[in-house]
Amino acid sequence: MHIRNVPKALGLIPDGNRRWARQHSLRFLSGYRLGVDKFIDFADWCKDYGVRNIAVWAFSTENFRRALSERRILFDIYRKVATDKEILGRLHENKTRFNVVGNRLLLPKDLVESLHKVELETKDYKDRVINMLIAYGGKDDMLHAVKGVVDHAVKTGVRNVSENLFRAYMLSNQVPDMDMVIRTSGEERLSGFMPWQTEYSELYFSKKLWPDFTKKDLQNALTDYDKRQRRFGV
């Protein structure tokens, strides 16, 4: 099916992994693992449709409130993904740059090192980008930028703060404005997902739990986007 207008930058909130696991009488680990595998497929589907930039929310600052055992499960999965030769091979094959977005100081050092290694190995690719939001929160992003601008003003004496200056100090400064954001599991809110980049994003909410999301569901979302008229306040 031909879709004329495809979002160049697509945000994803893959919600519903834990609920999916409960519904299938499985451990959280199974839901999270399947959710990660689903995203790997999702990235390929986006490539097929011509989406060049993806920002996926992997772990929020609020998620640190969850039980330590659950956090360890997620971080262990991300460690394995970061060192998976097959996954790295797919990034190279698709000429996709991998970018970590978030407060790395909150994460285990070895996890940060593993993720950063993938960043370094894919840093020269320009065709496609996957931004992994981990230890990320919208308010935290804004506060990080404010602190950076204040330090900049103290050092330089600058008084006027432009959008470009503010954005330069954001944790998500490398992430472009999102044309569209998809959230699964029936929840209809952004929950602090990149407030700066989603000012004029088209929002699409799927009732599917993330592990059940299919390529057809993505096609439905992109078809819906294609029908919308974006005004940007005009």
Domains parsed from the chain with CATH numbers: 9-138+177-224 (3.40.1180.10)
Query: In this structure, are residues 157 and 179 in contact, taking their beta carbons and an 8 Å threshold?
Result: no
pLDDT of 28 reads 86
8 A C-beta contact, residue 177 and residue 201:
yes
Q: State the pLDDT at residue 158.
A: 86
What pLDDT shows up at residue 83? 95
Provide the annotated active-site residues: 15, 63
Residue 1 has pLDDT above 80, yes or no: no
Angle at 79 between CA 78 and CA 82, to 5 degrees: 85
Q: What is the pTM of this model?
A: 0.95
